[in-house]
A and B are shown apart, each in its own frame.
Chain A
Amino acid sequence: MEVKVKILRFNPEADKRPHYQTFCVDAEPTDRVLDLLEKIKGYQDGSLAFRRSCAHGICGSDAMRINGMNRLACKTLVKDLGRGTIVVEPLLGLPLIKDLIVDMDPFFEHYESVMPYLVNDEPPPLKERLQSPEERARFDDTTKCILCAACTTACPSFWSNGRYVGPAAIVNAHRFIFDSRDRAAAERLRILSNQFGVYRCHTIFNCTLACPREIQITKAIGEVKKAIATGSLE
């Protein structure tokens, strides 16, 4: 079958504004959008720029807007996109570098701001810091984040103010706030309670719908909001 792929192109050295370019590609229904982009780059236009790495939904490099919604190109099949033209655009809310590549620095700055690592100055036991299955299950969902930025760049609050830490940073803060081995929950909650923290979330749910790992992001944000309001991690 022949598929039309309409891509938002932007070359900072030649273009003043982004513009759409349509390519016709031979594809199987079981091909992924990433396969189409590879075919276009390999056989039609080598100047097309996009990120990809593992191509198996783990590295999170190829998040982009596909038919108007953030998805991973390597996890999106042609047959799931209907019969019409497939529209591929870069993520919103981050500076555009070229074609489908955006500058991820602001995203990772927000991620780093919430201390996304275990903090525990207590002397470690001889073997390991033990944790019960129930304590581990408390934050299991938020361990699945692959930092693809699909959630943060689907959030209207982030579009309107890039200083908002965004859903991905809150998800990764949640992963440690509710970890029984961590000792810096209070510090993270203090960081997230500022004017660009969790209260910028207006429960819009775009993040949850965009997450390729199906993390209940809005629920995680809700739990952090409640922990800030009540001062309790229960």
Chain B
Amino acid sequence: MNKPVIATTSLAGCFGCHMSILDIDEKFLELIELVEFNKSPIDDIKTFTKPVDVGIIEGGCCNSENIHILKYFRDNCKILVSLGECAMMGGLPAMRNTIPLEECIKEAYLNGPSTVNEEKILPNDEELPIILDKVYPCHEIVKIDYFIPGCPPRADLIWDALLHLATGKKLELEYESFKYD
């Protein structure tokens, strides 16, 4: 039997969930015996080279690039997993949802105490992704099959979840593993 293929990405997140994946430490050696990694920051493969079984998404969607990547993952992965609070509900980037977008941009590029922008240039280039009005959780953009909660999800929980996904078993979450922070 072929090994299940895994891909991962970080959208509007802090890469903390990916750090938590790395926190499975020496179990990583066991993991690469069980699964094969495709597109992921972990192996630096930039585009899908084959159909993927499990796509793992860190971070929510704060700009058009995030939406594009998320849809690209949905099109290429049989199962999509939201990893961590940002993917599940927007998380820390979504704190800007309580502030109007115009105010956020002005604070970042014009009025911030450490901002030096004498020509008052706001980011506006077709090469740059468009910032969305809000930061959206992934399940409001595409269908997400599974969720791994936490900020970040504990390494043990990620290991258990990956192991159960790779072997097709159902995972019962312990109370102490089920956390939003």
Q: Do A and B come from one complex?
A: no
> A-contacting residues of B (Cβ < 8 Å)?
none
> B-contacting residues of A (Cβ < 8 Å)?
none
